[in-house]
Every structure is written in structure tokens, then in C-alpha cells.
Amino acid sequence: MCLRVVALLERFLFLSLLVSVSFPSCGSTKLEKTLAIIKPDGLLGNYTERVKETILESGFSILKEKTIQLDEDSVATFYAEHSAKNFFSSLVRYMISGPVLVMVLEKENAISCWRTLMGPTDASKAKITHPYSIRAMCGTNYEKNCVHGSDSPRSAQREISFFFSADAVTPHDEL
């Protein structure tokens, strides 16, 4: 019983600190959409609800979501800009290792705010420099960093349409 209370208290403190942390790059008033992916390590590590709660408590709306199992071709197409990099084959293996949760998030300045909330790409560094970020919470290293986010409005548009065609709307269910 005592351990459960401590776990609940830790979760409350984590979420309180995360919400209370100011995000200086999130000051714009432009309403945007961005793509967010909870990667296989996030889903298989049972971080899904915690990540979604953090998203909602940080002021985002989850407009659409779906859980899918990616195949090699879809991962290679989605991450095509990284195809010449030495980590590409490892990235493909990782992204097909289990299901992913794909979401469309909306908020003022969503792209920048989501990237800030995710934290640095290298989760081991995030644990030191951004301890309240999502990658610090559930990532382990540069590759297994739990989440993905669009890096620009152009990428957000391409990535959202990659997973959500106009006729395949999947509304979000509230927690």
C-alpha cells in the first residue's frame, strides 16, 4: 500500500513539474498541427497513457490517433531523408520491432512545443539536461528514444498525410 502511494505521489510530482516548467519557445499564437509517434519502446514499455496524459496536461489536443504495426517499406518511405545515414537500417529494424501509436496533436505553436516536450533526441542526455521531458521519462538512448515529432510545418503536413489520409479519420478517445 505504501509503495502504491509513493508511486502515485511520484507520478503527481512528475506531471506537476512537467506542466509547471516554462517552455520559452512555445510563445507563438499560431494554432498548428504536428505528428507525434509513440515508438515501439514506448508502447511495449507501458508508457502510452503516461505520455498521452502529459500531452493533454501540456495543453495539446489529440485530434486523431491510431495504433499500427509498420513494415519495412513504410518505415523506409517515412524516414527517407535518413536513408543515406549509417543508422538507417537500425532505425528501420527498431521501428518495425513492435506497434506504434501515431497521433495528430494541435496547439498554438504545436511543432516547437511538442519538440520541447519530447526533449533531446538522445534520451540518455535528456535524462541529464531535460529530466522532465518525455524522452527522459521513457527513452533509453539515441535510437530508442520513445517518441517522434515533426520538425517543421512542411514535415508535419507530409507526416500527417502519410498516416492519416482525408478519408481515414480516427478521432481521439478522451482518457
Q: What is the pLDDT of residue 71?
A: 97
**Other CB atoms closer than 10 Å to residue 129's CB: what's the count?**
11
The answer to whether the annotation marks 115 as part of a ligand binding site is yes
**Looking at the domain that runs over 29-163, which CATH code has it been given?**
3.30.70.141
pLDDT digit string (tens) for the chain, length 175 residues: 544 433 433 544 344 434 334 344 455 567 999 999 999 999 998 999 999 999 999 999 999 999 999 999 999 999 998 989 899 999 999 999 999 999 999 999 999 999 999 999 999 999 999 999 999 999 999 989 999 999 999 999 999 999 998 644 445 454 4
- Cell readout for 149 is 515529432
Q: What is the pLDDT of residue 153?
A: 96
Based on the residue annotation, tell me whether 172 is a catalytic residue of this protein: no
Q: What is the pLDDT of residue 58?
A: 96
- Domain positions in the chain: 29-163
Q: What is the pLDDT of residue 17?
A: 39
Q: What is the pLDDT of residue 165?
A: 83
The catalytically annotated residue of 82, 130, 148, 172 is: 148
On whether the CB atoms of residues 96 and 71 are closer than 8 A, the answer is yes
Alpha-carbon distances, residue 30 vs 108, 113, 118, 128, 160 (angstroms): 5, 12, 20, 31, 18
Q: What is the pLDDT of residue 15?
A: 42
Question: Got the DSSP string for 52-76?
Answer: HHHHHHTT-EEEEEEEE---HHHHH
The answer to whether the annotation marks 12 as part of a ligand binding site is no
The answer to whether the annotation marks 162 as part of a ligand binding site is no
Nearest Cα neighbor of 97 from 130, 127, 72, 121 is 72
The answer to whether the annotation marks 121 as part of a ligand binding site is yes
